[in-house]
Amino acid sequence: MHNIGFLTRKAAELRLAALETALCGKKGHIPPAYSWADVATALFYGGVLRLRPEEPRWEGRDRFILSKGHACLTLYAALADRGFFPPEELSRFAGAGSLLPGHPDTEIPGIEACSGSLGHGLGLGTGMALAGRLDKAPWRVFVVLGDGECNEGSIWEAAMLAGHQKLHNLVAIVDRNRLGATDFTDNYLTLEPLSERFRAFGWEAVDTDGHDISGLIETLTRARDREQGKPFAIIAHTTKGKGVPFMENSPLWHHRMPKGDEITTAREILRARIAELA
Amino acid sequence: MGLDFRDAVFNSVIEVMRADPAAVILTNDMGAMGLDAIRAEMPERAFNVGIAEQNMMSVAGGMALAGKRVFVYGIIAHVTARCFEQVKLDICVPNLPVTIIGVGAGLAYGVDGPTHHGTEDIAILRSLGNMHIYNPADATTAFAAVKLAHGARRPGYVRMDKEVLPALYDAASMDFSAGLGMVAEGTDAVIVSTGVQTWTAKAAAEALAKDGLSVGVIDLFRLKPVDGGRLAALLSGKRAVVTLEEAVSSGGVGTIVAETMADHGLGIRLKRLSLGDGFLLGSASREWAAGHCGLSQGHVEQAIRDLL
């Protein structure tokens, strides 16, 4: 496992790669990719997910689903960096016939499910966890959900089944950035008390700082290594756009693309952060 | 001797599950005698996932992604339209071995109101890539369809009726992999039908024969994929074609036959008999709807006479 300095720098590198990828494709959801970038760092670099990049379909791998598929820029950056596919693919993001579309699909090495139509990932993860338990498999299932995505009824259908089935091998991480596409989530559909709702559905649930990489690794590893109990929900409290102040916590920044000086500023901030952590 | 579709289907499912340890079955709190037998024999592989069809399809996809071969059982209206996007994205796009078994084809639940009519399912599921669709007219075909769908290791849909009917085919001599059966030979005209309406088509052809008209009957029990070349060859040289289905007018057998004729340059007069474009309110029993919408044996006979 890497030290926290390396991990913090890695998170900044993922954010910069996500920005450059979006600029290449002239589209993408940058702020939602930034809110879970530290969660992604914990999962992909903190020793949480057991993966073999050279063998993406390795039977013993932990299954990871980014249910909020629009935030795939961070996932693509991590998968490319971990060696699942060549980094040059990032520069062809959303290009004509390229490997990487604006939302993930199952042709991409390291991607388990088509996601981005919200509300599918937890049900898919529940199915994987049911199958894994049936086979007494050692692998675990991790699903990253958006908080706005938790408006979808299908999320709660899945939560109900996973709780009923006591799927200890299923971990859901809610990227609680408090923003949907146009407004703060609780202005249009109240999600709170979110962790209590998961508990009421038969889950173990904790609230945590979604930008504290060390804390995330500890919580995720503890959730992963349980041999029995309930499904585990981590409400990761995050800031949408985290890492680039002018994008942070603003309803304007969902899939808006930076322009002109904004691009320069964002690059400078992220490059300075990386240099500072080198 | 009558055979029940549900018994045939679940007898087939239990055989498959005995032979394939990776096979599992999910239901949305639906019951069936055959399902009880599966639950008793292999309880760890039969899951009641609750009345939550969207999730049921995602769970089916997730289980298939993790190596299982999944049957999903429920009423047609609920396991097709309600969860269409889950079937598309979580099962068909990744081309997973999930067989949806729907009960209540067409107006099998007609008297239960439009919430329970299975009349748009063919049209919508035909639009999905990788999907195979079976619509058996008898228990023998239903039994075979389950085996074919499971054996194909891809998304499948078996559309099941509730009637108790005699066998249309001799299982020992029938090649179900062809996707269609020539139920009656004829040189003047052909009726192309699917599901239990094939019995109406057969009776109409027999009645017309008494008047000296030679009318064939094709039972199109696999609606996707259709072997267009084979179907076109069977239609070729006839003077009239009538299609018959207890479904909306778009996307089903009528559409398939029209497409096939266009693709193969067949200029044959065609009449499509269906429930039309719309919804049936009230208690739409099969018999009532056949008269109301023009699907009765008399309507089929008249359509053939009109075209000839």
Single out the residue of B180, B187, B254, B243 nearest to residue B215, CA to CA: B187
> pLDDT at position B3, please?
82
Residue of chain B minimizing CA distance to A134:
B44
> pLDDT at position B112, please?
95
What's the mean pLDDT in B152-166?
A: 95
Please write the tens of the pLDDT for every residue from B103-114.
999 999 999 999
Q: What is the DSSP letter of B212?
A: T
What's the mean pLDDT in B21-28?
A: 98
* CB pairs < 8 Å spanning A and B: 98
* Identity of the residue in A106, A128, A164 whose CB atom sits nearest the CB atom of B62: A128
| Residue B129 clears pLDDT 90, i.e. is over it | yes
Band (B1; pLDDT cuts 50, 70, 90):
low
| Residue A76 clears pLDDT 70, i.e. is over it | yes
Amino acid, res. B153: R
* Identity of the residue in A117, A123, A134 whose CB atom sits nearest the CB atom of B59: A123
Contact between A254 and A225 under an 8 Å Cβ cutoff? The reply is: no
Name the residue ranges covered by the structural domains of chain A.
4-94+101-277
Residue of chain A minimizing CA distance to B60:
A127
Give contacts of B 67-106 with A, CB under 8 A: 67-68, 85-86, 89-90, 93-94
Which residues does chain B have within 8 Å of residue A105's beta carbon, measured at their own beta carbons?
A: 93
Q: What is the DSSP letter of A178?
A: S
Residue of chain A minimizing CA distance to B92:
A114
Please write the tens of the pLDDT for every residue from A77-123.
999 999 999 999 999 999 999 999 999 999 999 999 999 999 999 99
Band (B195; pLDDT cuts 50, 70, 90):
very high
Mutation site, B59, B72, B88, interface A, largest A CB count within 10 A = B59
- Top-tier CATH class for A4-94+101-277: alpha beta
Residue of chain B minimizing CA distance to A106:
B94
Alpha carbons within 13 A on the beta-carbon side of A181: 7
Which residues does chain B have within 8 Å of residue A126's beta carbon, measured at their own beta carbons?
A: 55, 58-59, 62
**B38-45 LR contacts (CB < 8 Å, sep 24+):** B38/B10, B38/B13, B38/B14, B41/B14, B42/B17, B44/A134, B45/A134, B45/B17
| Residue B2 clears pLDDT 80, i.e. is over it | no
Contact between A30 and A73 under an 8 Å Cβ cutoff? The reply is: yes
Distance, in Å, from the CA atom of A226 to the CA atom of A231, rounded to the nearest integer, reads 10
* Identity of the residue in B47, B59, B93 whose CB atom sits nearest the CB atom of A114: B93
What's the mean pLDDT in B74-92?
A: 97
Pairing verdict, β B215-219 and B222-224: unpaired
Q: Is the peptide bond before B225 cis (omega within 30 degrees of 0)?
A: yes
Which residues does chain B have within 8 Å of residue A120's beta carbon, measured at their own beta carbons?
A: 58, 85-86, 89-90
Band (A1; pLDDT cuts 50, 70, 90):
low
SS3 assignment for A82-119: HCCCCHHHHHHCCCCCCCCCCCCCCCCCCCCCCCCCCC
> pLDDT at position B220, please?
98
Structure tokens at B139: 């228990």
Which residues does chain B have within 8 Å of residue A123's beta carbon, measured at their own beta carbons?
A: 54-55, 57-59, 61-62, 86, 90
> pLDDT at position A102, please?
96
Q: Is B61 on the interface with A (CB under 8 A)?
A: yes
> pLDDT at position B32, please?
87
Cβ distance of B59 and A106 shorter than 8 Å: no
Q: Is B23 on the interface with A (CB under 8 A)?
A: no
Structure tokens at B41: 């024999």
Which residues does chain B have within 8 Å of residue A132's beta carbon, measured at their own beta carbons?
A: 66
Distance, in Å, from the CA atom of A65 to the CA atom of A47, rounded to the nearest integer, reads 17
Cβ distance of B66 and A160 shorter than 8 Å: no
| Residue A41 clears pLDDT 90, i.e. is over it | yes
The H or E element spanning position B271 is: strand B269-273
Task: State the smallest CA–CA distance between residue B18 and chain A in angstroms.
Answer: 16
Distance, in Å, from the CA atom of B185 to the CA atom of B263, rounded to the nearest integer, reads 23
Contacts of B117 (CB under 8 A, 6+ apart): B77, B106, B107, B109, B110, B279, B280, B284
* Identity of the residue in B45, B67, B89 whose CB atom sits nearest the CB atom of A120: B89
Task: State the smallest CA–CA distance between residue A58 and chain B in angstroms.
Answer: 11
Which domains does chain B possess? 3-165 (3.40.50.970), 179-307 (3.40.50.920)
Q: Which residues of A touch B (CB under 8 A)?
A: 63, 105-106, 112-114, 117, 119-120, 122-132, 134-135, 137, 153-154, 157-158, 160-161, 164
- The complex's ipTM? 0.96
Single out the residue of A272, A273, A256 nearest to residue A23, CA to CA: A256
Cβ distance of B62 and A105 shorter than 8 Å: no
Question: Percentage of residues in chain B with pLDDT exceeding 90?
Answer: 96
Please write the tens of the pLDDT for every residue from A170-185.
999 999 999 999 999 9
Alpha-carbon dihedral sign for residues B230, B246, B12, A135: positive
Which residues does chain B have within 8 Å of residue A157's beta carbon, measured at their own beta carbons?
A: 50, 52, 54-55
Please write the tens of the pLDDT for every residue from B258-306.
999 999 999 999 999 999 999 999 999 999 999 999 999 999 999 999 9
Cβ distance of B52 and A132 shorter than 8 Å: no
Please write the tens of the pLDDT for every residue from B202-248.
999 999 999 999 999 999 999 999 999 999 999 999 999 999 999 99
Cβ distance of A158 and B55 shorter than 8 Å: yes
> pLDDT at position B207, please?
98
What's the mean pLDDT in B29-39?
A: 93
Task: State the smallest CA–CA distance between residue B55 and chain A in angstroms.
Answer: 5
Mean confidence (pLDDT) of chain A: 97
| Residue B88 clears pLDDT 90, i.e. is over it | yes
What's the mean pLDDT in A229-251?
A: 98
Structure tokens at B289: 């709807």
Start-end of H helices in B184-241: 197-210, 228-235
What's the mean pLDDT in B22-44?
A: 95
